[in-house]
Structure 1
Amino acid sequence: MNLEASPPLAETLGVLETAALLRELTAGLIAVDDFDQALSGLVRITRDALVGVRWCGFTALRAGEPAGVAASDATLSGLDDLRYGADTPAMDAIRRREMVGAEDLGAEPRWSGWTPRARELGVRGVISAPVDIDDQVIGAVTLYAGESDVLTPGHQLTAMLLAEHAGLLLAAVRDRERRAVLAGERDAALLGEGVIGQAVGVIMTQRGCPAQDALDVLRTAASSLSIPLREVAERLVSTVSRPRDN
């Protein structure tokens, strides 16, 4: 990287600031189960938390799927997508599996297609760090500065720690996302399955609620009674189907 090796200590990011960023990221993403939503939260939190960083972006490459892009500011979103091919800091970091950057884009010969556009948008310095998420997704988080010579070795260290922490958090988000999809598929199968579907229909009629809420009611009853879901459904259907005495 073309960054100064020994800036004044006052210019480096403090350990407490980095710890606060990682803590806020954890709190912001710990319950998220949508990957794109998680990326949006990550870039926004990072931009707001780091002194000297005016924008933040994330580029994610997914096996068999279109690339995912998130930007803390819409005007810079194009810098993180694939329109420039592999000739960008983010793609450079992903390809080389190491952090790359420049503290002054005005004197930067790399990324010949990307750098002029970045400068037009007000970017003067950049750091991009690779992020390993899982066996299907890799990416890079990119920190942008609006002034030259403000990105320091402290920012480099923060970017490295951020990339490692973000990889763990995003992997957990991906896992929750997959689990949610599987749960939805199981629910869909249950709703179309004989007596359980009938029981759900009964609850929907009685309570005026949607199918998913009715299925949750059925699950709660099964848990409370410690009996299988199918048995609860059979009892309910049997009860409402039983002829009433005149």
Structure 2
Amino acid sequence: MTDDLGVLETAALLRELTAGLIGAAGFGEALDRLVRITRDAVPGIDCCGFTALRAGEPVGVVASDPDRAELDDLRHGPDTPAMTAIRRREMIIAGGLDGEDRWPAWSARARALGVHGVISTPVDVDEQVIGAINLYADTPRALTPRHQLTAMLLAEHAGLLLAAARDREREADRAGRIDDKLLAEGVVGQAVGVIMTQRGCPAPEALAVLRSAASSLDIPLREVAERLVLTVSRPRDN
């Protein structure tokens, strides 16, 4: 019965992660949701963190408990469970940090912050970003084989969801660059200015209106812009 409950808890965690991370606006928000959902959903874990590297260099740290974020931050030194997991490409477990000699300085900081056990698991996001998800327990020997299985499944699932978040972020950046280029072009920029004046809305919203009109009329965006500019610039009969 206890094992069945563990399976159900893990399945519920993965479902919640999927729902939460799919709706994230970007990679940073996805990481925030990942650590918060994991902390709240995994029994025996009172803090969760994520250490991220891009092209081999530290690029970010996210923690469900900001007061313990330094435990995931490689700027405090590379000798950490997270970095060991990333280097070895394997799960790293320390059920009790008293007498732990693999990361003496890190372990001392962890104990001072009330952390007495850790599981760090490598997460592959894409060809540029890798990281480790870190599960922390506030009591010694609280981490069990069930936590290890959960960490393994969590890392696999989170890697896929974070990769999707990175793709969405890149696509949004690309779309933003395209929008900037369009707004800089004469007739489209003029049409956007017309809509902004008529509706009292910002440029992105005005461009979205123009795009919607082009889609509805099934004609190119530039042609819609030209028609709009021509319409408003045409002299009116008295």
TM-score of Structure 1 vs Structure 2, range by shorter chain: over 0.9
Q: 1:158 aligns with which of 150, 153, 164?
A: 150
* Contact kept? 2:58, 2:74, Cα under 8 Å: no
> Partner of 2:226 in structure 1?
234
Which of 88, 103, 106 aligns to 1:111? It is: 103
- Return the alpha-carbon distance in structure 2 between the equivalents of residues 94 and 222 of structure 1: 48
- Residue aligning to 1:211: 203
Q: Letter of the 1:157 partner, please give it.
A: L
SS of the aligned residue for 1:105 comes to coil
Matched residue of 1:83: which SS?
helix
Q: Residue 12 and residue 107 in structure 1: after superposition, are their counterparts in 2 closer, same or farther (change >3 A)?
A: farther
| Equivalent residues, number | 238
The whole-number CA distance in structure 2 between the counterparts of 1:65 and 1:116 is 24
Distance of 2:106 and 2:58 partners within structure 1: 20
Q: What is the deviation of 1:12? A: 9.4
* Deviation of the 1:66 alpha carbon: 4.7
Q: State the alpha-carbon separation in 1 of the partners of residues 25 and 158 from structure 2.
A: 14
Change (3 A) 1:150 1:10: farther
Q: Which has the higher contact order (CA 8 A, sep 6+)?
A: 1
Distance 1:99 1:108, change over 3 A: same
| Superimposed CA distance per residue, residues 78-103 of structure 1 (whole angstroms, 9 cap, x where no aligned partner) | 00001343210000000000000111
Query: 1:75 offset after TM fit, Å?
Result: 1.0
What per-residue deviation string (whole Å, max 9, x for no partner) do you get for residues 43-80 of structure 1? Answer: 00000001100100000001286521000001110000
Contact 2:70 2:76 in 1 (8 A): no
Separation in 1, partners of 2:59, 2:87: 15
For 1:37, which of 26, 29, 34 is the aligned residue? 29
Residue from 53, 56, 69 that aligns with 2:48: 56
1:229 to 1:237, Cα distance in 2 relative to 1, 3 A? same
Moved over 2 A (4+): 9-13, 63-66, 83-86
In structure 2, which of residues 52, 60, 68 is the aligned counterpart of residue 76 of structure 1?
A: 68
Q: Is the 8 A contact 1:33 1:174 kept in 2?
A: no
Per-residue CA shift, 1:192-213, capped at 9, x if unaligned? 1010000001111111111111
Question: Whose helix fraction is larger, Structure 1's or Structure 2's?
Answer: 2
Contact 1:47 1:56 in 2 (8 A): yes
The amino acid across from 1:226 in the alignment is D
1:167–1:13 distance in 2 versus 1, CA, 3 Å: farther
SS of alignment partner, residue 110 of structure 1: coil
* RMSD between superposed Cα atoms in Å: 1.5
- Aligned partners of 2:157 and 2:180: how far apart in 1? 35
Q: Secondary structure at the match of 1:141?
A: strand
Identical residues among aligned pairs (%): 72
